[in-house]
Amino acid sequence: MRVLNEPVSWWGWHGWADRPAPLSIVQILRSGSLPPELAAVYWLALERGVSLLFAAEPPGAGKTTLLTALLAFLPEEASVYFTRGWGETFDLPPLTDGVPTYILVNEMSDHLPVYSWGPYVRRTFELMAQGYSLGTTMHADTVDEVLEQLEGEGVPRPHLNRLGLVSTVHVGYQGGRVLRRVSEVTLLGPSDGSPGGGPSKADGIEACRIASWDAERDTFTVLASTEQVGALAGYLGMKEGGLRAEVERRRRFLGALMKDGVTDQEQIERALAAFRRPA
């Protein structure tokens, strides 16, 4: 992964020498925030330049921490560009065919000058329409709230279909400890125009829930139906059987790292490089 500029007020970036060590994806998996199957879905999505947005209403839910950890799954040739809030110039390099360039917005809100809102959000979505990808967070409890906030800032509804995977994050307390869980993952704008998982809640925006968390049992469901598999496979440009096989291959890889206690970021990156090398 190529970093195009220095991050500003981005929590958990690995390049910050004066900040606490960020959590790696294996540490987050071992905490139970999400299962390896879901991490494998994010992995496949990032390889293909799918935009990711993580939403939670309360602060401290771990949105940016999770997004940062997932960036380890980006292809080595991919690029990331950190926005700086008000005054951002979006000095991005031209796109390269087949190589994702991610615009990383630490938060889409008007809470701080280093966050992005108004014209900066609209410009981000214009660039997404040109082929750039997005990684960001927002304060919202549901996908509908995410869409309402963005549309309220003037983002055209057709552009909202480019959000890719929108994930909501739950944070609460259980047994005296903080509990963080990815509570729902929704795919927006499936390529075949016929999302599964029930009717869209987003009035004119095609939406398919592909993963969810059962709070009572503290268990996850990922790609549980053929409709969900078909919607994601179509969006990623994969065959359904190929998607299932690649999710399983990556799940086993991540499960082995968890079992072996490989939590150091550099060790994980070396393991990922070895995974990517042709057999």
pLDDT in tens, 158-183: 899 899 999 999 999 888 889 999 99
Q: Does residue 3 register a pLDDT over 50?
A: yes
Indicate which CATH number applies to the domain containing 65: 3.40.50.300
What's the CA gap between 277 and 68, in Å, rounded? 23
Structural domain includes residue 16: no
Structural domain includes residue 278: no
Q: Per residue in 112-148, pLDDT tens?
A: 888 999 999 999 999 999 999 999 999 999 999 999 9
Confidence (pTM):
0.92
Range of the domain at 175: 2-11+22-270
Long-range CB pairs of 150-158, under 8 A, 24+ apart, other chains included: 150/108, 150/121, 150/125, 153/117, 153/118, 153/121, 153/122, 154/118, 154/122, 155/121, 155/122, 155/125, 156/125, 157/204, 157/205
Return phi, psi of residue 143, to 5°.
Answer: -65, -40
Tokens of 246: 């690649």
Average pLDDT, the chain: 91
Number of structural domains in the chain: 1
Tokens of 119: 């014209």
56 exposure class (CB count in 10 Å sphere: 0-12, 13-18, 19+): buried
Structural domain includes residue 275: no
At 90 the pLDDT is 97
At 15 the pLDDT is 45
Q: Per residue in 22-45, pLDDT tens?
A: 899 999 999 999 999 999 999 999
Structural domain includes residue 209: yes
Structural domain includes residue 136: yes
Q: Per residue in 204-229, pLDDT tens?
A: 678 999 999 999 999 999 999 999 99
Q: Does residue 11 register a pLDDT over 90?
A: no
Structural domain includes residue 150: yes
CA-closest candidate to residue 54, choices 187, 168, 205: 168
Structural domain includes residue 279: no
Structural domain includes residue 276: no
Q: Does residue 254 register a pLDDT over 70?
A: yes
Q: Select the more confidently predicted residue: 88 or 11.
A: 88
Q: Does residue 21 register a pLDDT over 80?
A: no
Question: Which pairing describes strands 101-105 and 79-82: parallel, antiparallel, or unpaired?
Answer: parallel
At 12 the pLDDT is 53
